Amino acid sequence: MISVSIITIGDELLIGQVIDTNSAWIAQELNKIGIPVLRRVAVGDNFDQIWNTLNEESQKSKVILITGGLGPTADDITKPLLCKYFDGKMVINNDALENVTHLFEKIFKRPLTERNIKQAEVPNSCKVLINPRGTAPGMLFEKKDCIFISMPGVPHEMKGIMSDHVIPLLLEKFELPHISHRTLVTFGIGESMLADLIQSYEEKLPTHIKLAYLPNYGIVRLRLTSSGKNKDAIENEIEQLFCELQLMVKDYLVTNEDEPMEKVVAKLLLKNNQTLSTAESCTGGYLSHLITSIPGSSAYFLGSIVSYSNSLKENLLDVKNITIEFNGAVSEAVVIEMAKGALKKLNTTYTVALSGIMGPDGGSTEKPVGTVWIAVGNQESIITKQFHFRFDRQKNIQLTAMNAYNLLRVFILDQTKN
């Protein structure tokens, strides 16, 4: 069975200035075609480190995918290093030069400099994988039964080379096992309690099937994984086990697909042909941002009023001044008026209104940092719930958003169940 090592190159990864999102994307794509990732290694822009890592990983995996270190600037040493590692010499590649010329003439509309032309230089020991999205080409090398593919670190360029060249090449070259995953999403139950709930199920799982717990912001995803040669047998078995699992966690089940909470809500709205607005204070537009990140969201999401200041709660959402004075901005009475105001002004089927203290400042003894009121409703009814989170600002915003969308999800299901 073949496996892959991913090597990411760049000092920025080792001093923490950049979060490596490329590796996760590559791993997802490889998984889809049945190739497991064995290891991911990040090293700096250091000759010996990169050289040794190439040696080590090629003893562990048959395919080595490398990202980063191919920029046009002096700190990027990967290309000359690969040239030496694979006993080549640097030559201008005509296809790569044509690509660079085209980019500068037609897309960037800037004159081509010496430095840009140098981007079309590659070791003559490689096969060039053209990168129409940028100036650094992908490069494929072979050595001792091992395939090495070097790609730029810019995510959309790397993704293009993976889809255009690497995935087709791997599919052609290897006979791959079938890998199957099933993921469901639960909300409102911790990892330990969930494990207790499904203990008997987990104990009787066949050894070739793995169950993983993936907790994140109130959500725990459960993932079943199986692999083997007989696709039909694997699919049938995992499907049946997945059905059982869904039944066991049904009280906490959000969706039986691997999708975010806001996508579940979006699908409900779309199915019912209904619309949503939000009236946000403490989340500052994050609910709105989450749902509008989904392509096509204009079909069900009409807009949001982010009333971060009290005056805007009054002016834009018709919250009464006395309600704020009497109860404070973070109160049940205020989120109810915000919700009513939003339903009236934005004229949607549902709305979510929230107000809270995200920290680090702004808390008091009665209302400490992490206090949040959420209201969810439609023209007929409004429900409210108070929360007490106890984390940092970013995590409080995330948890507030997830809980708000979950309340809305349950509310929509209640309203539409007949």
Site for a copy of itself in 152-171 (CB under 8 A): 154, 156
- Site for a copy of itself (CB under 8 A): how many residues? 109
Which residue's CB is nearer to a copy of itself, number 100 or number 125?
Answer: 100
* Residue 345 in tokens: 């002004």
Q: Is 315 in the site for a copy of itself (CB under 8 A)?
A: yes
Q: Return the beta strands (E) in 154-202 as ranges.
A: 178-187
CB of 247 to a copy of itself, least distance (A): 19
AA identity, residue 70: L
Q: Is 66 in the site for a copy of itself (CB under 8 A)?
A: no
CB of 266 to a copy of itself, least distance (A): 13
Strand partners, 356: 372
Cα–Cα distance measured from residue 272 to residue 264, given in angstroms and rounded to the nearest whole number = 13
Q: Is 40 in the site for a copy of itself (CB under 8 A)?
A: yes
Q: Are strands 276-280 and 350-356 parallel, antiparallel or unpaired?
A: parallel
Q: Is 26 in the site for a copy of itself (CB under 8 A)?
A: yes
Which residue's CB is nearer to a copy of itself, number 153 or number 377?
Answer: 153
Cα–Cα distance measured from residue 346 to residue 348, given in angstroms and rounded to the nearest whole number = 6
CB of 258 to a copy of itself, least distance (A): 8
| Cα angle, residue 178 at apex, residues 172 and 183 outer, rounded to 5° | 130
- Given a contact cutoff of 8 angstroms between Cβ atoms, the answer to whether 313 and 334 are in contact is yes
Q: Which of 211, 221, 226 is nearest to 402 (CA)?
A: 221
DSSP state of 90: E
Q: Single out the segment in contact with a copy of itself by CB under 8 A; choices: 31-39, 84-92, 162-170, 231-239.
A: 31-39
Which residue's CB is nearer to a copy of itself, number 75 or number 87?
Answer: 75
Q: Is 23 in the site for a copy of itself (CB under 8 A)?
A: yes
- At residue 126, the 3 state secondary structure works out as coil
Strand partners, 231: none
Q: Is 110 in the site for a copy of itself (CB under 8 A)?
A: yes
CB of 38 to a copy of itself, least distance (A): 7
Which residue's CB is nearer to a copy of itself, number 178 or number 221?
Answer: 221
Q: Is 287 in the site for a copy of itself (CB under 8 A)?
A: yes
* Residue 307 in tokens: 């009333």
* Residue 403: count of CB within 10 angstroms of its CB: 21
Q: Is 295 in the site for a copy of itself (CB under 8 A)?
A: yes
Q: Is 12 in the site for a copy of itself (CB under 8 A)?
A: yes
Which residue's CB is nearer to a copy of itself, number 45 or number 237?
Answer: 45
Q: Single out the segment in contact with a copy of itself by CB under 8 A; choices: 138-146, 247-255, 262-270, 353-361.
A: 353-361
CB of 83 to a copy of itself, least distance (A): 20
CB of 278 to a copy of itself, least distance (A): 8
Q: Is 59 in the site for a copy of itself (CB under 8 A)?
A: no
Which residue's CB is nearer to a copy of itself, number 36 or number 368?
Answer: 36
- Which of 72, 80, 132, 168 is close enough to bind a copy of itself by CB under 8 A? 72
- Given a contact cutoff of 8 angstroms between Cβ atoms, the answer to whether 119 and 90 are in contact is no
CB of 154 to a copy of itself, least distance (A): 7
Distances (CA, A) of 157 to 23, 60, 134, 135, 153: 14, 27, 6, 9, 8
Q: Is 270 in the site for a copy of itself (CB under 8 A)?
A: no
Q: DSSP per residue over 22-89, as a string?
A: HHHHHHHHHHHTT--EEEEEEE-S-HHHHHHHHHHHHHH-SEEEEES--SSSTT--HHHHHHHHTT--
- Chain positions 177 to 236 lying near a copy of itself, rule: CB under 8 A, are 181, 183, 190-193, 195-196, 202, 210-216, 221, 223, 225
